A and B are shown apart, each in its own frame.
Chain A
Amino acid sequence: MKKTVLAMVSGLAIVLAGCGQSQATAPVAKKTAGPVTIVWTASPIAGLGVRKTLISLFEKSHPNIKVKLITAPTSTNTDKAALTTQISSGSATPDVYMGDVIWPAQFAHAHLALDLSHHLPSSFWSRFAPGLVQGASYKGQVYGAPFYMDSGFLYYRKDLLAKAHLPVPKTWAQLVSDSETLQKDGLVKYGFVWQGNTYEGLTCDWMEYMTDAGGTVLNAAGTKAAIDSPASLKALTFMRSLITSHVSPAAVTTFEEPQAMAVFDAGKSAFLRNWDYAWANSNSPTDSKVVGKVGVAPLPTFSASNYPGHSTIGGWNIYVNPHSQHIPQDLTFIKWITGTQAQTVLATKFSEIPTNYAVQKNPAVRKVNPVLATVSHVRLVARPSNTPIYPKVSQAIYSNINAALNGSVSPSVALKTTQTQINQAISQNGL
């Protein structure tokens, strides 16, 4: 027993020593002539082969730069923990990394991302769709280049709505009544599935209802919580009513994207709130029983005159490690991957939503699938992530909203607790 432990430990030590060496040799590589290799850490992107395709195209047009791909963990939080540990300890690799759109403030504050506005001309940023650069900024400086974007969409069963002669819902009330009709007629088991688990995804869903109802998380100056409001109460009461009226299964409070997707793909729900990838997923014969029966629309809202409802912005940026030894090459890579060629490939071959505005508006791209055609009609809302304490803010939101959804506290108590916890986080008195 002890021997195996020791063997494992010494094995680990060798691995660790190996890591140290590869890092130590990184600066040397810079001095040698010939192609420079930059390391790109990126988590797997939904469509297979996206990263490799992009890298081989890039290397073809830039023979002096090689890109080494490191696959990051699929869990965003694990990915973040790994990057934080690596970069904060001064590692020169990865040179560039893919990171969540909610990271800029925290990463800028902790010196984990390079201030790109110092290195790229202001004209560079005009290529992106409106709002994206704002989202990648902290205190007026831009820390990430938007790589591909995402937002919440309403997926619905075309066939069921047609059978029951129902329109695609434009209000939440309509979605509920459509669902109840379909459920009563025995056409489908559940009305609507979404993401209600204790995690970041619930904050995304929450932002949509709360903003539709007219609420905000923070006050205008961003100095205090404003979430305990009548608007929030309306939003939360509605979300809870989805569960009590059985339009959504009780288990929705434990759902993340894959669980909600699985219920929809199995043909057990009429409506689904999900991201861009749900289109391809629900139309893939290996995963789905509802191939060809799915439609997509912007999310509903509370009053028809305000249609469409808000959709939370998701997606990924490319960041540069401030300790990178190859910053000029990193910037070349960023310019290329946000340019028309890469972004068109990303959209047409892998149906990701491009961040490059010209590509996003290109009719050929909009023809690829209905999601890409719907993007321009969506009303976007960003999470309040322009503060370094955003993880605490989001945690306060998703843990308390989840508690209200599963019925362990009332909506008004949940909102009061959220308010207190956010204020604690702002005053740095929380954990």
Chain B
Amino acid sequence: MAIRVSLAHRMQRHRPTRYLVSQGWTFALPGLLIILAITIFPVLYSIFVSFNHVAITSSGFKLSWVGVRNYRTIFSNSLYQYSLVFTVIYTVVTVLVELILGMGVALVLNALSRGRGFMLALLLLPWSLVTVISAEMWSYIYNGVYGVLNAILMGVGLLNHPVTWLGTPILAIISMMVADIWKTTPFVAIILLAGLQMIAGDLYEAADIDGASAGYKFWRITVPLLRPTIALSVLFRVLQAFGLFDLPFVLTGGGPGHATESLALLGYQVMFQDLNMGRGAAIAASTTLIVLLASLVVLRVFRAQVEEGAS
């Protein structure tokens, strides 16, 4: 926000010449071309592919236009429907829990006067681990025979028999959510902490003078001023959670049954294991579309609230 204001301010003082504008584009061009080549082109191409039947022939791919047939097939398929519902529920639950926990952590860190750097570094550990590696660790923790979780719970007398954490649908889904929340809460916390530190301290001082309670200050000062930051972290997390792939890929392989088969995993399965490129592309494209819509909704909701708060 502050950056945008100062930029606008500067631009008013020195209106850029046509030369400067074209120079700017020239410098940006290589980067833009790369983004075009490795992000925009593949997305558009996979959308195009999703309207085709793809045959792999000896001379490469042969596409034949089938219109919306791939989409009709996937939308009417019960596996796809289940994957969609699972992915949506997974996203909503994990993002919500991460937001609540992350907020708590950020408030604590913000109130710390000493050791904040150390705590931040400690918190960043789970986030900095590659998901595949941390998922592998979780699979040892959850193991139903020699897993450490069972050992601890049985040691303190909470369990009599070992539980197969990844063996039944509900437990597997919850276990996976826990692994996700463990890893991503620090990310949310750090973004929120940055937002908290931008809130001017005199607002709280003024509130203190007026005799406001802690809860009142939180809901009337912190939350409204933090809205853009919350929107940002929710947006990042929704985008990431909806593309859920590595955790189920390592932990459960989509099982037990199909219980943890996310849309991304299903798309991978159909595309690269069944070699059904058209339907795989349709799954991928539909996922992109859904997550794009979800992001727009998130942005719209938060922007509306911010504007409402401002007026």
Interface residues, chain A, CB within 8 Å of chain B? 6, 9-10, 12-13, 77, 80-81, 84-85, 88-90, 106, 110-112, 190, 197-199, 249-251, 253-254, 259, 262-263, 266, 268, 322, 388-389, 391-392, 395, 399-400, 402-403, 406-409, 429-431
Contact partner of A395 among B144, B168, B269, CB < 8 A? B269
Contact partner of B57 among A9, A81, A111, A395, CB < 8 A? A111
Residues of B within 8 A of A12 (CB): 38
**What is the distance, in angstroms, from A102's C-beta to the closest C-beta of chain B?**
11
| Bound-complex Cα distance A84 to B270 (A) | 13
Closest to A266 in B: B146
Q: B257 near A408 (CB under 8 angstroms)?
A: yes
Q: B196 near A: Cβ within 8 Å?
A: no
Q: B106 near A: Cβ within 8 Å?
A: no
Other A-B contacts than A9-B31, A251-B143, 10 sampled, CB-CB below 8 A, are A88-B56, A111-B56, A111-B57, A198-B255, A249-B144, A251-B164, A322-B58, A391-B273, A406-B167, A431-B274
Which of B6-14, B42-50, B73-81 touches A? B73-81
Number of interface residues of B (CB under 8 A): 46
Q: B275 near A: Cβ within 8 Å?
A: yes
Q: B56 near A429 (CB under 8 angstroms)?
A: no
Q: A112 near B38 (CB under 8 angstroms)?
A: no
Known: A197-B253, A198-B257, A251-B167. A431 touches B56 (CB 8 A): no
Residues of B within 8 A of A259 (CB): 143, 145
Q: A408 near B169 (CB under 8 angstroms)?
A: yes
Q: B257 near A399 (CB under 8 angstroms)?
A: yes
Q: B254 near A: Cβ within 8 Å?
A: yes
Residues of A within 8 A of B252 (CB): 198, 254
Residues of B within 8 A of A199 (CB): 253, 255
Q: A88 near B61 (CB under 8 angstroms)?
A: yes
Q: B60 near A406 (CB under 8 angstroms)?
A: no
| Bound-complex Cα distance A429 to B72 (A) | 11
| Bound-complex Cα distance A392 to B258 (A) | 13
Query: What are 11 A-to-B residue pairs whose CB atoms are below 8 Å?
Result: A9-B31, A81-B272, A90-B59, A249-B164, A250-B167, A251-B144, A254-B252, A259-B143, A391-B273, A408-B169, A431-B74
Closest to B31 in A: A6
| Bound-complex Cα distance A110 to B55 (A) | 7
**What is the distance, in angstroms, from B82's C-beta to the closest C-beta of chain A?**
11
Interface of A is mostly: helix
Residues of B within 8 A of A402 (CB): 255-257
| Bound-complex Cα distance A250 to B150 (A) | 13
| Bound-complex Cα distance A303 to B129 (A) | 52
**What is the distance, in angstroms, from B245's C-beta to the closest C-beta of chain A?**
12
Contact partner of B256 among A112, A263, A266, A403, CB < 8 A? A403
| Bound-complex Cα distance A344 to B101 (A) | 61
Q: B89 near A: Cβ within 8 Å?
A: no
Contact partner of B257 among A262, A268, A391, A403, CB < 8 A? A403
| Bound-complex Cα distance A190 to B274 (A) | 37
Q: B292 near A: Cβ within 8 Å?
A: no
Closest to B35 in A: A9
Contact partner of B254 among A9, A110, A198, CB < 8 A? A198
| Bound-complex Cα distance A402 to B38 (A) | 39
**What is the distance, in angstroms, from A321's C-beta to the closest C-beta of chain B?**
11
Residues of A within 8 A of B273 (CB): 77, 80-81, 391, 395
What are the interface flags for B257-285 relative to A under an 8 Å C-beta threshold, 1 for contact and 0 otherwise?
Answer: 11100000010111011111001000100
Q: B84 near A: Cβ within 8 Å?
A: no
Q: B253 near A198 (CB under 8 angstroms)?
A: yes
Which 3 residue pairs spanning A and B have beta carbons closest together? A251-B144, A198-B255, A403-B257
Residues of A within 8 A of B58 (CB): 111, 322
Q: B162 near A: Cβ within 8 Å?
A: yes
Q: B166 near A: Cβ within 8 Å?
A: yes
Closest to A409 in B: B257
**What is the distance, in angstroms, from B5's C-beta to the closest C-beta of chain A?**
20
